[in-house]
Amino acid sequence: MRGPVNILRLMRTGATFERTGAMTQILDALQAPPLLRSILRGVIWPFRWMGYPGDPAMPPVTRAITALGPAYVKFGQILSTRPDIVGENLVHQLRILQDRLPPFPTSVARAAVAADLGRPVDQLFSEFSEPVAAASIAQVHRARLRATGEEVAVKVLRPGIERAFQRDIDAFRFAARTLDLFLPSARRLRPSDVIAHFEGVVRGELDLRLESSAASEFKDNTADDAGFRVPSVRWGYSARRVMTLDWVEGIGAADVEAIQAQGHDAAALAQRVLQLFLRHALRDGYFHGDMHQGNLKVDAAGNLVAYDFGIMGRIDEYTRRVYAEILIGFIRRDYRRVAEVHFEAGYVPPDRDVDQFAQALRAVGEPIFGMDASHISMSRLLAYLFEVTERFGMQTRTELILLQRTMVVIEGVARTLDPKMNIWDSARPVVESYIRDALGPKAFARDLARTAWILARFSPRLPELARAGLIRTATPPPSWRPGLLAAALYMAAGAALVVLGGFLSGVV
């Protein structure tokens, strides 16, 4: 029975945008051609009455998105960082989605805190304010610990958020299956996998114990990063639906005028945002996956302060090296090497032509160099990249979705702080430093030592494995010599690596 319900849900989505007046503004912002406008309006207008009315006090686009639910709000938050894609007028509306959504009553929040922590709020906190920020999944209250008098931020999940989120995801999943069935050209984008990935990521936001753990790990990883702070978790005041962090005063990253009025260098902050993200992704393999302006502040000392750790990303070491090689290839304008890395990593089918792919990548990269960010149309760049990936049969890499999405958000944040920022020049020192550490001689020695150590741990099983290999190769007479040689070489290599690993582990 979910099929009809999801069809109704998707129809209601279009009807809500039409009823609130958001459809016209979105089509204007995206510069949709007249034919597409006519088709969409002709299909949706008869069902306009089905749309949610939303809050008339809000601008049309924000009004529609908030009426539709939390998953739509998440998507709007991403677009709120990209004025080059949706236009300045639409961005001003979408930024409301970051931390200024309508709050739920404080009495409901207090009841949730008491239920989750097992004690009345007045026993835990001497002060507990009205909501100071409200987002799609939770809202934040400023409070003071009764035991110590310290100020803290208390995050509380919205009531019924799990059910509302599941409703949206069901509709998205239905839309993805429909695309797979009726639009074969979209299968390479793996829409079902994308939705599954999105669901898994956001589900982590619905258990604040996981977010508390993420905040703690992120703070440990970034403890030595100059100009960056992560508030400490108060574990004794945190549970599944409640999370408590140290309170940190600061100016929202979107308020550039206030940041400059306090004497902070907005251009330097823009560069730091980008470089910190790359450092976290490449150095640690663990990065903040929702780093929009609503989750960043600038404190009195000029430090960037990060909040909201519900969406965090991980990438393994091999993927980090591939990502870094692609970035450094673009930075150095070595498009042939960028193309080769794509083929080596299996991102492009091996039957495609590497030279043609390199030429296509050149057309993407060359317009960027020698220009400041204000002259680069990211919407056109993304459209061309889509054409390139389609032409060369590249599939969507679900393990890189969050990394790619966050890079778009980070660039948008940096652009807000410094519209003339050159993204590539700012990224270069971080990526080159990682390349030296991860792909140089020291890294090679470290990898070899690690491989030797793993072989050493399994060395007691080497005779058994060699014996099994000999038994398998002994039956067919013609092949016994290669089998015996392989087993001997395997044991010799294992012994050599054990010795080498012992030496390197003392050096590296």
Residues recognised as catalytic:
290
Cα separation of 292 and 310, whole Å? Answer: 13
Cβ pair 72, 65 in contact under 8 A: yes
| Rounded distance between C-alpha atoms, residue 130 and residue 141, angstroms | 6
> What are the distances in angstroms from CA 145 to CA 111, 129, 247, 249, 291?
17, 12, 11, 17, 28
Q: Which helix (H) or strand (E) holds 132?
A: strand 125-134
Task: Render 231-262 in DSSP notation, one character per residue.
Answer: PPB-GGG--SSEEEEE----EETT-HHHHHHT
Q: How far apart are CA 444 and CA 314, in angstroms?
A: 23
Q: What backbone torsions phi and psi does residue 422 show, to the nearest 5 degrees? A: -95, 110
Phi, psi (deg, nearest 5) at residue 498: -60, -45
CA distance to 64, 69, 163, 294, per residue, from 51 (Å) = 9, 13, 20, 28
Retrieve residue 447's tokens: 């990898």
